[in-house]
Structure 1
């Protein structure tokens, strides 16, 4: 008798365990629906829930009634200070309880600005980026080999955002180097409000072939973030720059200029495609005829969560009394993202 009862108990436990998802988070919606999965993060009025039935689902925050989670989350009610909760428990509609030992705390969902898995050092760090590489080989009357690598990354914590880019392009025609340049840029944004920020940046470009051999730029100015959410981001910045040019003939020039920078990306068709554009148009203050334009427009197709195919068109123009440059570069390649 005891043996049969014990066996039945073990069988019941064995059947019950798989039916209960481990560390499954639950999101109750105001319309009565319930979603299960794993909360990845909340920011920009969108809660990202990773599910095994529909992949990553972006849920409108104003549609959420309450939440439940067994994982540790950093919950921020403002841009600077956050509370490290051991888990979340459901509460009245429009509220959630932060589990922290013997002192649980119930907060309004509307007061939460950000929610994510805490990082080891900077708890609220959000880091993203991608590396795109393109190789082009043409064998005809004139053989052409073209190599193009670009890095773009961004990290944000609190009121600060770090932006870094780097690129390298080298081209051979019949074993003769026709293009050989690289560039790097770092920009630091300090958010003043939800949308307004102040930017400081430094940039360096080196070209072994063209008339403009070196270009160094330091700038600062205000910027505006139109939106930044799960569907993409768009920001512009107006900067006052100090630029130093060195030409291939040994001459040099330095001047102040005003410029407008933009950074745009938009996800399409369930985030399978990403349309992106970055660039800067600059105008020297001393010479009405001079200007520069450095712009890129491209499209990425996500093959997996981290791999993508990309195609991009880049335009680089320098118009000045001491040297002119007008290049258009097209590339198709492979990239990785995080």
Structure 2
């Protein structure tokens, strides 16, 4: 009985001691004004860091107001060259963040400007839209007139890009004589810089037998 009591007491003491040394880890964000925020880093995009805290749920911090970051768990860091590194930030050294990843032996040194986003959302699947139209007419009697028209367009959209390709074709005959023969195709690329601004490039290729256009191209 005494041995059982001693075993129970020793076990209880061990639990108490181990509990006393248990520490709750969290991400740490140090601000330029000297404040410190602890919690879980949720994300960073468009110059705003989101931290989930125990006292105010999620809060937003301007990226320029951050002096240092230390993360307890691995996060995904997207750099300006589109490199995605999974690791933990170990603070600033010589003005640069130290980013440790399991894939490299030594921590990677990156500046604040190098970091485009933290925990970026997964790239959404490509959305594809396509439309096609075709019209055919045949007229017979005193005159025979045939016309064919076809046009189509397909659009592929991702979060930041849109790709468009399309074209049309026209053919026509009147009493066995060709009266219409033309076609055109176009390509367009849009890159979304923000919700309001985007950059684009396009090209147009056109042929028309009756306008003496063997191939006209327009780039812009």
> Any residues of structure 2 matched to 1:1-338 within 5 Å, and which?
7-17=12-22, 19-21=23-25, 24-78=26-80, 81-92=82-93, 94-101=95-102, 102-116=105-119, 119=122, 122=123, 156=159, 159-160=160-161, 189-191=190-192, 196-198=197-199
Structure 1: gaps (5+ residues):
126-153, 163-187, 201-219, 221-338
Contact 1:69 1:88 in 2 (8 A): yes
Contact kept in structure 2, 1:50 and 1:56, CA below 8 Å: yes
* C-alpha displacement of 1:90: 1.2
Q: Could you say what secondary structure the match of 2:55 adopts?
A: coil
In the alignment of these two chains, the number of paired residues is 138
Q: Deviations over 1:168-226 (max 9, x none)?
A: xxxxxxxxxxxxxxxxxxxx8414699842369xxxxxxxxxxxxxxxxxxx8xxxxxx
Indicate the structure with greater strand content.
1
Shift in Å, 1:9: 3.6
CA distance change for structure 1 residues 93 and 193 in 2, over 3 Å: closer, same or farther? farther
Partner Cα separation in structure 1 for residue 95 and residue 113 of structure 2 = 7
Q: In structure 1, how many angstroms separate the alpha carbons of the residues matched to 2:66 and 2:27? A: 13
Q: Say if 1:32 and 1:77 are closer, same or farther in 2 by CA, change over 3 A.
A: same
* Separation in structure 2 between the aligned mates of residue 161 and residue 34 of structure 1, nearest angstrom: 41
Contact 1:28 1:34 in 2 (8 A): yes
Largest Rg, 1 or 2: 2
Q: Is the 8 A contact 2:78 2:120 kept in 1?
A: no
Q: Structure 2: which 5+ residue stretches go unaligned?
A: 1-5, 125-156, 164-188, 203-220
Question: Cα–Cα, structure 1 residues 155 and 72, in superposed 2: closer, same or farther, change >3 Å?
Answer: farther
Give me the whole-angstrom Cα distance separating, in 2, the residues matched to 1:92 and 1:103: 13
Q: What is the RMSD computed on CA atoms of the aligned residues?
A: 3.7
CA contact (8 A) 2:68 2:92 kept: yes
